[in-house]
Amino acid sequence: MRGDRGDRGPDRPDRACADGAHRLEARGDRRTGSLTLRPGDGPAADRQVRIYEVGPRDGLQNESHRIPTEGKLEFIRLLAAAGLTEIEATSFVRPSAIPQLADADQVVRGLERRPGLRYPVLVPNERGMTRAEAAGASALAVFTAASDAFTEHNIGLTIAESLAAFRPVLVRATELGWWRRAYVSTAFGCPYLGRIAPRAAIEVALRLVELGAEEICFGDTIGVAVPDQVEELTELAIAAGLVPERIAYHFHDTRGTALANVAAGLRAGIRTFDASTGGTGGCPYAPGAAGNLATEDLVYFLDASGWIHGVRLAGVLDAARFIAGLLGRPLASKVGQAGGWDPTTGAALPRP
């Protein structure tokens, strides 16, 4: 995940929320049964998974090959046609910092609006919020990390300074009735400090909730997490007061563990996962980080495991093929290369 060194907030927070005041109230029981579900196993609500698509923003932000605004809008249209209902569309960081997303205003104005579709945008500070509001956005995400070393490399701010920058953004978004997400990057490991203790990530998450975030997304920014660590962080986060339904995970597949980590998150009771169609994305401040978990790989996995999500694999592959063509390279995802599979006939489905 990338920010902008020029997007600095002027104020520091008055106090750190060390005691987790205003923590989200936990609801319901966590499900820790078998990952693979058969039709009729358990209540339908517990088998429902949200797929949060980050391809148009996180997937494209570090690409040097410039994608035209019309191409981005067509990519988003194809994602929505595939059944994805939450699509992070762009970022309102300083245009010179991320030239690929310099057309954020035009992208948001060009989105096809219809009931049930949400297009969050990344907003780093009040300047970005002003632009996002003028363009017609209605949902946002803010971003920080569990490591001061990473935030200083990524956005030129300490964690405390980034929280100060987000405070007026989240206040304004709340006044407008916008949906509000907050990312906690390097939740498992930092390229500059090494292993991150779970409680460090949770403490940042609790501060973000105090500021008005409705959903917390823990990011495995450099792809070092393994399933046991995902379950540990989830258990501790819920014990600290975070609501399972408002926790999401953003896994990078750097070391091939992304789907295993999704499985661990599901066992621990989490039902929201980020993914990037085509497997595009990475972090310029995370040395060696590979792309995000591919949406097509996630959809195939969830389908085969009996989870309900409302996204069509064929449609996702259409979108993946489209964006790969614009980027001028073949798909790198496993399902993108192999195609799907029909379990009723044993036949491989056409590859994109």
Predicted confidence (pLDDT) per residue in 34-66, tens digit: 334 444 455 666 899 999 999 999 999 989 899
Q: Does the pLDDT at position 28 exceed 60? A: no
Q: Does the pLDDT at position 322 exceed 80? A: yes
Average pLDDT of span 5-11: 41
> Scanning the structure block, which residue is given the tokens 């935030």?
151
Cα–Cα distance measured from residue 276 to residue 325, given in angstroms and rounded to the nearest whole number: 16
Q: Does the pLDDT at position 350 exceed 50? A: yes
| pTM summary value | 0.88
Least confident stretch, 181-185, 284-288, 327-331, 348-352 = 284-288
The per-residue pLDDT for 349 is 82
The per-residue pLDDT for 286 is 61
Q: Does a structural domain hold residue 187?
A: yes
Q: Active site includes 283? A: yes
pLDDT class of 132 with cuts at 50, 70, 90? very high
Options 17, 190, 217, 283, the catalytic residue: 283
Q: What percent of the chain has pLDDT over 70?
A: 84
Give the domain range for residue 54.
48-338
Task: Return the CATH number at 162.
Answer: 3.20.20.70
Q: Does the pLDDT at position 82 exceed 70? A: yes
The encoded tokens of residue 190 equal 């930092």
Q: Does a structural domain hold residue 350?
A: no
Q: Does a structural domain hold residue 116?
A: yes
Average pLDDT of span 71-77: 98
Q: Does a structural domain hold residue 5?
A: no
Least confident stretch, 242-246, 310-314, 348-352 = 348-352
Specify the higher pLDDT residue, 217 or 41. 217
Whether the Cβ atoms of residue 9 and residue 195 lie closer than 8 Å to each other: no
Q: Does the pLDDT at position 323 exceed 70? A: yes
Cα–Cα distance measured from residue 262 to residue 38, given in angstroms and rounded to the nearest whole number: 18
Average pLDDT of span 222-244: 97
Q: Does a structural domain hold residue 261?
A: yes
The per-residue pLDDT for 45 is 67
Average pLDDT of span 306-335: 96
Q: Does a structural domain hold residue 36?
A: no
The per-residue pLDDT for 24 is 40
Handedness of CA 87, 92, 93, 96 (dihedral sign): positive
Task: Work out how many domains the chain is built from and give that number.
Answer: 1
Average pLDDT of span 101-129: 97
pLDDT digits (tens, 9 = 90+) for 169-185: 999 999 999 999 999 99
The per-residue pLDDT for 66 is 95
Q: Does the pLDDT at position 158 exceed 60? A: yes
> Scanning the structure block, which residue is given the tokens 């989105």?
111
The per-residue pLDDT for 189 is 97
Specify the higher pLDDT residue, 256 or 14. 256
Q: Does a structural domain hold residue 246?
A: yes
Whether the Cβ atoms of residue 49 and residue 272 lie closer than 8 Å to each other: yes
Q: Does a structural domain hold residue 38?
A: no
The per-residue pLDDT for 237 is 98
Q: What percent of the chain has pLDDT over 90?
A: 78
Average pLDDT of span 79-88: 98
Strand ranges across the sheet with 50-53 = 86-87, 50-53, 272-275, 247-251, 215-220, 179-185, 139-145, 121-122, 90-91
219: which residues sit within 8 A by CB, 6+ positions away?
1, 145, 183, 184, 185, 186, 187, 249, 250, 252
Q: Does the pLDDT at position 9 exceed 80? A: no
The per-residue pLDDT for 341 is 92
Whether the Cβ atoms of residue 182 and residue 34 lie closer than 8 Å to each other: no
Least confident stretch, 32-46, 84-98, 147-161, 192-206 = 32-46
Cα–Cα distance measured from residue 79 to residue 295, given in angstroms and rounded to the nearest whole number: 10
